[in-house]
Structures are given as structure tokens and as C-alpha cells.
Chains A and B, each alone.
Chain A
């Protein structure tokens, strides 16, 4: 009981929260620099496989992205559960890949058009048949530099 009365006498000064905004701004700037804007909403499940012999991808303006995987649960009523390709913001068939790559290539600056890489962001549960079809389409339009985008980690996690 004595403690309570004592506290009232020697009132502790309140902790100053004046530096709180600075701390939060620091966090904010950290996140602004290490992350990048989502450019397309993923409509598919996209859990990338793991690999450890990886190379870092080129700058973002030299990369064409192709996504593939099972449609996420909210699209499964409409599109089923078989893996599909996603280009930009919509589902696509295999025969649309070539045109998409050509259109993307044409939209890049001229000096970059020869150094483009196609990044395949494919879910680890996809069948190789679909991936091979994409690769075949890419060969047709001569987009031969590809990158299988992966997460960094031991490759043995893929087969568990």
C-alpha cells in the first residue's frame, strides 16, 4: 500500500513520443526502397520452386513476365482447377503467348529489344506440359533467353 502513495508523490514524467514519427518514417522509407509496386494482380496460385544455383535477374525494364499456375480459389468456378497462363491481368491460352511477347518487345526501347529476358514465374505444382508449350511458343518468336524465377533455398524442398 505504501508503494501506491509513494508513486503519487514522485510522479514519473511521461515518456516523450515526439520521436515516434521519426521511427515510423524510417520504417516507411525502408519499405519504400526494398519493395516494388505490384504491377499485376495475380489470379493464380504462384508458389515458386526453390533453387540455390541462381543468378539475379536483369533490370526490370528488360524483363517480360509470364505467370502460370492453378487459378486461385475465387476464379476456380469460372476457369476450373487446371493450371493456366496469366499474361498481364488476364488468363490466356498458349497460342496468345507469342503475340504477347511480340507486343511487349515492341513496347520496349529499341536498344533493349535485343537483350530482353523472359521470366517464367510458374507455380511448383504445374505440369511440365504447360511449361513446355510456353517454351515452344517462345522459340517461335525467337525469345530464347529465359529465366525460371525461383525462390532461394535448397532445391530438395521441391520434392518433399
Chain B
């Protein structure tokens, strides 16, 4: 046929790129890049605990978000950007003794007798209206979690030279070997014990 008989005829691979492009476009259309991170929260169980403990008013930090997405913190109007600092000041106050009767020796707050006694007693109560926008609610949640993380990071940095969020991410990572996890677990629990996350969410009010 006029061809070189020694070499087999070459298959034309010119359309390979087209086929690959087709596949590529198919995958681009049918898949999404997952948003798989967010704020972890734990809901309270539906049956109320027996004998609820008596909590003094000064140990509660009240945050109210109204239907116009405005913030009322401890009876005062506040901007969102000031919330984290206010929550840190409240949690880190340490004016009295904790649940075990020990004063807070790691707190760096102002020890104001009008504010919280101890991080283990301090509770943040978040109330919202049914008309509050979800975005605002998440922003407030984010700032409050940020306040806890800031304090926990500070203590983790002081005790172990590593931030709490970094250690926690490493602990939750499935690729971390078990012996590293066993080493991290008591450290994390100690930090969590120093600043337990007590964030109560009341059911929304309807006016």
C-alpha cells in the first residue's frame, strides 16, 4: 500500500486531548469543592437536668441579638467588633474561687468583683430573636468561640509552646499516629478544663 512494511501504522492520537477535555469538563460540572468546615456546637439534651445549680448573676454574660441584628451585651449596646474583647475580659476575670474552691492563678484579668468569679463558673448566655438573621448569629457565635480559643491558645502557648487550635486540629486529623494522639489528649483536656466552653443558647423569644 505504499507504506513502510517494517513499522506498524501509527494510531492518530490527535483527538486524545479532545476526549480528555470532555472528561475534564464533565467532572467540573458534576462535582463541587466541598465546604466541609464549620462551627461545632453541642445542643443541650431536651430533658432539663435535675436540681439545676444556682448561678449568680455576675457569672452570666448575657448577649442578646435582636431582630434588627443589633447586639445587647450586659444591658449595653455593643458593636460586633468589640464583642470578643468583652467576652475575653469576662471569662478571664477570675475575681473569686472556682468550683473546687481554688482561686484562678492563671487568669490575667482585672479581678473585678462585679464580674465572673472563675472561668469554670463563667457562663455565656446567647439569646436571639426569631427574626435574627442567620449570618449575624454565626458571626456572634464565631466571636464567642474566638474568645474561648484566644484564652485557650494563650495557656497552651505558655504550657506547651504550641497553640490550642493547632493541637486540636492535629488531634482530630485521622492521619495523626495513635501515640501522638495519646500524648495530645491529656494536654487538650487540661486546657479545656482551664477554660471550659459554657455557651448556653436559650430558645428564641417571640414578641
Interface residues of A in 83-137 (CB under 8 A from B): 117, 119, 121-129, 131-132, 135-136
Q: Could you tell me the distance between the alpha carbons of A38 and B24 in the complex, rounded to whole angstroms?
A: 16
- Indicate if the CB atoms of A49 and B27 lie closer than 8 Å: no
Q: Does B105 reach chain A (CB closer than 8 Å)?
A: no
- Indicate if the CB atoms of B138 and A150 lie closer than 8 Å: yes
The interface residues of chain B lying within 8 Å CB-to-CB of A75 are none
- Indicate if the CB atoms of A21 and B20 lie closer than 8 Å: yes
A54 CB, min distance to chain B CBs, angstroms:
4
B26 CB, min distance to chain A CBs, angstroms:
9
Name which residue of chain B comes closest to A39, CB basis: B32
- Indicate if the CB atoms of A21 and B44 lie closer than 8 Å: no
- Indicate if the CB atoms of B37 and A128 lie closer than 8 Å: no
Which listed residue, A20, A37, A139, A158, touches B138 by the CB 8 Å rule?
A158
Q: Does B43 reach chain A (CB closer than 8 Å)?
A: yes
The interface residues of chain A lying within 8 Å CB-to-CB of B183 are none
Knowing A131-B137, A155-B143 are in contact, say whether A27-B39 is a contact too (CB < 8 A). Answer: no
A86 CB, min distance to chain B CBs, angstroms:
15
B1 CB, min distance to chain A CBs, angstroms:
25
The interface residues of chain A lying within 8 Å CB-to-CB of B184 are none
How many residues of chain A get a CB closer than 8 Å to chain B's CBs?
Answer: 60
Q: Could you tell me the distance between the alpha carbons of A59 and B138 in the complex, rounded to whole angstroms?
A: 23
Q: Does B17 reach chain A (CB closer than 8 Å)?
A: yes
Which listed residue, B128, B138, B204, B206, touches A124 by the CB 8 Å rule?
B138
Name which residue of chain A comes closest to B201, CB basis: A135
Which listed residue, B31, B44, B133, touches A36 by the CB 8 Å rule?
B31
Name which residue of chain B comes closest to A138, CB basis: B43
Q: Does A48 reach chain B (CB closer than 8 Å)?
A: yes
Which listed residue, A17, A119, A144, A151, touches B43 by the CB 8 Å rule?
A144
Query: Beyond the given A25-B20, A55-B40, A155-B142, could you list 18 further A-B residue pairs with CB under 8 A, ordered by the A residue number?
Result: A18-B13, A20-B17, A21-B16, A31-B28, A35-B27, A49-B134, A51-B138, A52-B142, A53-B165, A131-B134, A132-B204, A136-B203, A143-B43, A144-B44, A146-B42, A150-B38, A150-B39, A155-B138
**18 A-B residue pairs with CB within 8 Å:** A28-B24, A36-B31, A38-B31, A53-B146, A55-B40, A57-B38, A119-B38, A123-B134, A127-B131, A128-B137, A132-B130, A142-B45, A146-B40, A146-B42, A148-B39, A148-B41, A158-B136, A159-B136
